[in-house]
């Protein structure tokens, strides 16, 4: 019996569940660090939600923002996928929950969430979602030539391309295999239905078959646990029973997956044919590529057909993530037509697919995160967010400020020279005023003046120079020096009064 949607009254056709509060849930590790374990949400009351609440435009490409939370880092033990907890929290605050239902979400009692009450979503599922989104975005950029194919191994990670042939049939052209592996949670793999035959895709010069495979071990690499492997098998002709037999044995299809694929492709294998004994294997991700009398030749993704295989991989990922999409002919909307979505994550993938051919993704010049510029008008964007733009502006301003200060102290540049160089657009008086303000607020100059007074007394060359440049001594002198100077002034005044009395 299907579980009722607890947010049926508030979930939009795009799968969004509006929430009024989002927070991170952490757990302290053995090393004393805080690890993100969940994201908590307090949903809006149905009576407080406007019909216009959060209506995304077509092809807004928000999946790019989710995928930008993840990066692949190469280590001596293999590639590692890292996901920023801060980025996930920021995305959650902006968009709300990805699932809002079991097995990824639960209330405080650990049960299926209910409308109006606080619930949490598993951080592992969010990390898995970000990792798979990152894979699709990077693969799409590679396939479109926006990233050089030579970088594929670094930016994707566990990627293998093989050309497979069988020596028993010399004239057989064989087929290409592209396999990419990423770690996910078991629940995420279950949600996608792995192991799974995703789709058959007929192209102009080949026919591709896509699969999701699942492995629960990863030996000899930097990551372990449940692995999801996306496989594209590319043939120059329609797959035959013999081709499929080699493919299924090579990839170790389970009995259920083998039956599903044969049924969907209408393949009739001879019942009396005995399976061959494997004599070769290739470890890819968590599974083994093993086949009888199979010849496998590793290929570079840069060789002919590599871009097309990556494009097929992206389309397979999109198809696999539309698990929560369904047709509702009585509930059409501008965003989704007659489609509705049981989760926001499925909508994100559908939205990505809507603009996949015109995807325009740039990388932040400050932090390197990817961001979408689909539909952007006006000056070219170079930053992923206002935070990075403001931070970059501040960093640039700070560098100019530091250069100005050091040129004054170390190169003996005058205030007038510095104003002409650093504030050429300002009026002369305004530029010089800004230079003086920068110098007077510099602790290092204050310390340098104090040290020079200690060495040379009040005839200090640096102190005299600051006076000549009309810098404020009240800002540059320490309290101790200001008190000393005040006593000197009092002594001078007393001496002048005494002389005046005797004259």
Tens digits of residue pLDDT in 206-250: 999 999 988 765 444 444 568 899 999 999 888 888 788 878 877
In whole angstroms, what is the distance from residue 348 CA to residue 454 CA? 67
Mean pLDDT of 152-169: 79
Helix (H) or strand (E) holding 308: helix 306-320
Per-residue pLDDT tens over the stretch 268-312: 665 434 443 333 333 333 333 444 444 567 778 888 889 999 999
In whole angstroms, what is the distance from residue 189 CA to residue 202 CA? 26
- CA-nearest of 444, 432, 418, 420 to 471 is 432
Residue 101 DSSP label: S
- The set of residues, in sequence order, having a beta carbon less than 8 Å from that of 466 and lying 6+ positions away, is 445, 449, 473, 476
Distances 463 to 247, 452, 454, 469, 490 between C-alpha atoms, Å? 83, 8, 11, 10, 20
Q: 314-328, 359-373, 389-403, 435-449: which range is least confident on average?
A: 359-373
Looking at residue 360, its pLDDT comes to: 62
* Beta-carbon count within 10 A of 154 CB: 14
Who wins on pLDDT, 76 or 279? 76
Task: Name the residue with tokens 């609440």.
Answer: 53
Provide the percentage of residues in the chain whose pLDDT is more than 70: 82
Looking at residue 264, its pLDDT comes to: 81
Token reading at 478: 């320490």
Looking at residue 57, its pLDDT comes to: 44
**Which of 73-77, 171-175, 353-357, 406-410 has maximum average pLDDT?**
406-410
* Beta-carbon count within 10 A of 93 CB: 15
Token reading at 448: 């340098």
Looking at residue 503, its pLDDT comes to: 66
8 A C-beta contact, residue 426 and residue 419: yes
In whole angstroms, what is the distance from residue 281 CA to residue 201 CA? 27
- Helices marked H in 411-478 — which ranges? 415-422, 428-440, 443-456, 461-468, 473-476
Helix (H) or strand (E) holding 262: helix 255-265
8 A C-beta contact, residue 230 and residue 317: yes
Mean pLDDT of 429-450: 93
Who wins on pLDDT, 249 or 56? 249
pLDDT of 443 strictly over 90: yes
8 A C-beta contact, residue 288 and residue 282: yes
Helix (H) or strand (E) holding 90: helix 85-95
Looking at residue 369, its pLDDT comes to: 67
Residue 145 DSSP label: T
Mean pLDDT of 147-173: 79
Mean pLDDT of 334-352: 87
pLDDT of 427 strictly over 90: yes
Mean pLDDT of 42-58: 61
Looking at residue 291, its pLDDT comes to: 41
- CA-nearest of 397, 389, 182 to 284 is 182
Give SS3 for 306. Answer: helix
8 A C-beta contact, residue 72 and residue 154: yes
| Angle of CA points 31, 37, 41, to nearest 5° | 145
Per-residue pLDDT tens over the stretch 22-38: 999 999 888 888 899 99
In whole angstroms, what is the distance from residue 254 CA to residue 231 CA? 15
In whole angstroms, what is the distance from residue 248 CA to residue 229 CA? 14
Looking at residue 60, its pLDDT comes to: 59
Task: Name the residue with tokens 């206002």.
Answer: 386
Looking at residue 133, its pLDDT comes to: 93
pLDDT of 145 strictly over 80: yes
Looking at residue 221, its pLDDT comes to: 44
pLDDT, mean over the chain: 82
In whole angstroms, what is the distance from residue 356 CA to residue 334 CA? 19
Beta pairing partners, 287: 284
8 A C-beta contact, residue 155 and residue 147: yes
Token reading at 119: 């619930």
pLDDT of 157 strictly over 60: yes
- CA-nearest of 53, 51, 81, 84 to 66 is 84
HSE, side-chain direction, 13 A CA sphere, residue 21: 11
Distances 186 to 28, 70, 158, 369 between C-alpha atoms, Å? 23, 19, 19, 27
Task: Name the residue with tokens 């494997």.
Answer: 278
């Amino acid at each position: 019996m299907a579980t009722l949607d607890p947010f049926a009254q508030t979930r939009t056709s795009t799968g969004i569940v509006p929430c009024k509060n989002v927070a991170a849930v952490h757990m302290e590790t053995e090393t004393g660090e805080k690890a993100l374990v969940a994201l908590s949400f307090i949903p809006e009351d149905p009576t407080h939600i406007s019909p216009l609440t959060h209506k995304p435009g077509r092809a807004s490409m928000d999946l790019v923002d989710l995928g930008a939370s993840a990066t692949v880092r190469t280590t001596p033990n293999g590639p590692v996928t890292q996901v920023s907890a801060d980025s996930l929290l920021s995305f959650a605050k902006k968009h709300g929950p990805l699932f809002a239902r079991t097995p990824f979400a639960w209330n405080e009692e650990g049960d299926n969430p209910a409308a109006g009450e606080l619930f949490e979503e598993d951080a592992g599922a969010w990390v898995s979602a970000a990792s798979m989104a990152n894979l699709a975005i990077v693969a799409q950029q590679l396939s479109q030539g926006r990233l050089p194919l030579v970088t594929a191994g670094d930016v994707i990670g566990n990627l293998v391309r093989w050309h497979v042939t069988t020596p028993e049939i010399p004239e057989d052209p064989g087929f290409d295999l592209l396999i990419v592996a990423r770690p996910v949670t078991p629940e995420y793999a279950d949600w996608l239905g792995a192991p799974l035959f995703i789709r058959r895709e007929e192209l102009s010069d080949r026919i591709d078959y896509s699969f999701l495979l699942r492995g629960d071990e990863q030996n000899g690499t930097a990551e372990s646990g449940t692995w999801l492997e996306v496989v594209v098998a590319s043939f120059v002709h329609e797959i035959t029973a013999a081709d499929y037999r080699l493919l299924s044995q090579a990839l170790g299809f389970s009995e259920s997956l083998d039956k599903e694929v044969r049924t969907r492709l209408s393949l009739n294998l001879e019942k009396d044919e005995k399976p061959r004994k494997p004599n070769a294997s290739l470890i890819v991700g968590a599974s083994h590529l093993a086949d009888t009398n199979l010849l496998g030749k590793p290929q570079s993704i840069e060789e002919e057909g590599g871009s097309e295989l990556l494009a097929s991989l992206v389309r397979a990922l999109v198809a696999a993530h539309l698990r929560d999409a369904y047709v509702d002919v009585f509930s059409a909307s501008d965003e989704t037509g007659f489609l509705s979505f049981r989760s926001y994550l499925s909508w994100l993938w559908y939205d990505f697919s809507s603009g996949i051919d015109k995807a325009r993704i740039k990388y932040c010049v400050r932090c390197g995160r990817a961001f979408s510029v689909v539909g952007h008008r006006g000056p070219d964007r170079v930053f992923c967010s206002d935070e990075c733009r403001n931070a970059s502006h501040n960093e640039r301003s700070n560098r100019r400020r530091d250069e100005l200060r050091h040129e004054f102290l170390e190169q003996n540049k005058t205030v007038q020279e510095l104003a002409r160089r650093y504030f050429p657009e300002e009026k002369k008086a305004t530029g010089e005023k800004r230079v003086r303000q920068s110098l007077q607020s510099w602790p290092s100059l204050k310390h340098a003046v104090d040290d020079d007074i200690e060495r040379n007394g009040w005839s200090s060359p640096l102190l005299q120079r600051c006076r000549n440049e009309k810098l404020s001594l009240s800002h540059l002198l320490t309290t101790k020096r200001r008190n000393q100077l005040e006593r000197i002034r009092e002594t001078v005044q007393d001496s002048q009064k005494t002389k005046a009395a005797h004259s």
